[in-house]
Amino acid sequence: MVDNLFDGAQAAAGKVVSNTMGNVAVWVPSDGSHPAGYTVRVLFKNPTENKELAGVNYDPDHYQMEYFEGEFPGLRELVGENNGGETVVIKSVTYNIQHVSTKHDGKTIIADLYP
């Protein structure tokens, strides 16, 4: 259930974008809390060259994935507690998750990934 019209529109738009342009990501929590893991469509940023677009720097050595609150339950907390230590598989490549933060809306999560 959504709290207001904006939250509903945001959730619907986010799903459309993820389903249309997203990549499948698989995360299995290192603490064993969900042995089957979680499979989620995420927005994956993997630039091939150093560029700036609309004030945002794209660094080819700095990958990111974006997902929505609740899609990878406990990931942010485990990364924070273990100072990293979690991995995710996207396009058959395993990435180390070093840091997880929240965008200004509080519902979009960004994870910094390193191959």
pLDDT one-digit tens code per residue, 12-35? 555 644 555 589 999 999 999 999
Structural domains in the chain (count): 1
What are the tens digits of pLDDT across the range 42-87? Answer: 989 886 666 665 566 666 677 999 999 999 999 999 999 888 889 9
Determine how many CB atoms are found less than 10 A away from the CB of residue 98.
15
27 close to 72: Cβ distance less than 8 angstroms? yes
Q: Is the pTM of this model over 0.85?
A: no
> What is the residue whose two structure tokens read 């995420």?
42
Q: Alpha-carbon distance 70 to 67, whole Å?
A: 9
Domain extent for 89: 5-114
Helix (H, G, I), strand (E, B) or coil at 11: helix
Using the structure block, give the residue that is written with the tokens 């609150």: 69
Q: Is 88 exposed, middle or buried (0-12, 13-18, 19+ CB in 10 A)?
A: buried
pLDDT for res 107: 85
Q: Each residue of 83-99: pLDDT tens digit? A: 888 999 999 999 999 99
